[in-house]
Structure 1
């Protein structure tokens, strides 16, 4: 297995047999990502998936001693899912408790410019409670998005259901895919993300053209 000789895997292999540290780090990084820490949670999930893959393939990644504990893919997936939902809910609660004034807090404004917050509010007004799920799939907008969902006082049960379903789709799957397929899935993930970016670009272009066309029609009618 050629990719087992890559420096990154050589470095990460030291943690493949320290599951306690990995699980604790997983919870910490998921919480930090949720509150706007500039480390995409996808990086953490991919790393944990790779560690689980290493632990499941002792022939290619020999353990330091027989019977050494390994990162369990099921445990990691459950911990990641719970950590994500809990952290998302905490952000929602902050928005619900403090209201709109938290949107104008200096620290929030420093991390998320006013034009970004305005766009998040527009999306939330447009899509309602379903925006909870949209933000879960939108890195960089998760924190302000969940904050606004709380500010707008969407029902807690609805937020939990929609965010939970979105998290169940996006979080454990990345760990499972990498844990079971290793190197091939890394290549597939790269291709998949390119496809997703292309689709997203087409959708954005559609809405931009639609908006321009609407303004053009409105202007002509007014004339």
Structure 2
């Protein structure tokens, strides 16, 4: 199965930055493979680092949007029936539902950093008809630092890009928590500024 996915990713390379976005639209194609490989393509001189990160971040929003739409327009029965095609199991949905009930719409951001929740969290966002633009902004804010780290690791590792996943897993919290705090601070500051203006 992994060799088939790798063949697909290599085929997407021919589409350039659009290919990165397209690959990440399919939830069954692991970002842990696509993004470091995109970094390797940067290492080889085939792509620009910043454009690869941007394309990866956009693709990281398009994939969750498909699950958001599934939840919004299909509801739980459709999700349970077709979720397996997006590698989403019923216990993932249950965890995501519970997390959503506890934390509200901000889970579109925070949920991306929690294993077992990060993929399925888009579904309750859709089922509760969360504002789609808020969902997109929160998801992009979460995906941008993750994407940046993965692509950069692939770039720095070069031919050993496959080690990026293990390195990311080992240092994820050290890398992402400070970034998440900065982003949260920026969101809170923007809200306060908006409230003062209005």
Scaled to the shorter chain, the TM-score interval is 0.5 to 0.7
- In structure 1, the partner of 2:189 is none
Q: Distance in 2 between matches of 1:192 and 1:83?
A: 19
8 A contact 2:23–2:34 mirrored in 1: yes
- In structure 2, the partner of 1:136 is 112
- In structure 1, the partner of 2:38 is 48
Return closer, same or farther for 1:48/1:140 CA change in 2, 3 Å cut-off: farther
Look up the SS of the partner of 1:154 in the other structure: coil
Map 1:14-25 → 2, pairs under 5 A: 20-25=14-19
- In structure 2, the partner of 1:126 is 102
Map 1:50-199 → 2, pairs under 5 A: 50-55=40-45, 70-105=46-81, 107-108=82-83, 111-138=87-114, 141-179=117-155, 181-182=156-157, 190-196=166-172
Gaps of 5+ in 1: 1-14, 56-69, 199-223
Look up the SS of the partner of 1:182 in the other structure: helix
TM-score, normalization by structure 2 = 0.66
> What value does the CA root-mean-square deviation take over the aligned residues?
3.3
Look up the SS of the partner of 2:26 in the other structure: helix
Decide which structure has the larger Cα Rg and report it: 1
Q: Distance in 1 between matches of 2:91 and 2:62?
A: 28
Q: CA deviation at 1:161?
A: 1.9
8 A contact 1:132–1:162 mirrored in 2: yes
Q: CA deviation at 1:20?
A: 3.8
Which digits, 9 at most, give the CA deviation of each residue in 1:105-144, with x for residues without a partner? 2x32675443332122111111211211233234664442
Q: Distance in 2 between matches of 1:75 and 1:196?
A: 23
- In structure 2, the partner of 1:201 is none
Alignment match of 2:24 (pick from 18, 24, 30): 30
Number of aligned residue pairs: 163
Return closer, same or farther for 1:23/1:140 CA change in 2, 3 Å cut-off: farther
Q: Distance in 2 between matches of 1:84 and 1:74?
A: 15
Gaps of 5+ in 2: 1-9, 175-198
Q: Distance in 1 between matches of 2:66 and 2:148?
A: 20
8 A contact 1:45–1:174 mirrored in 2: yes
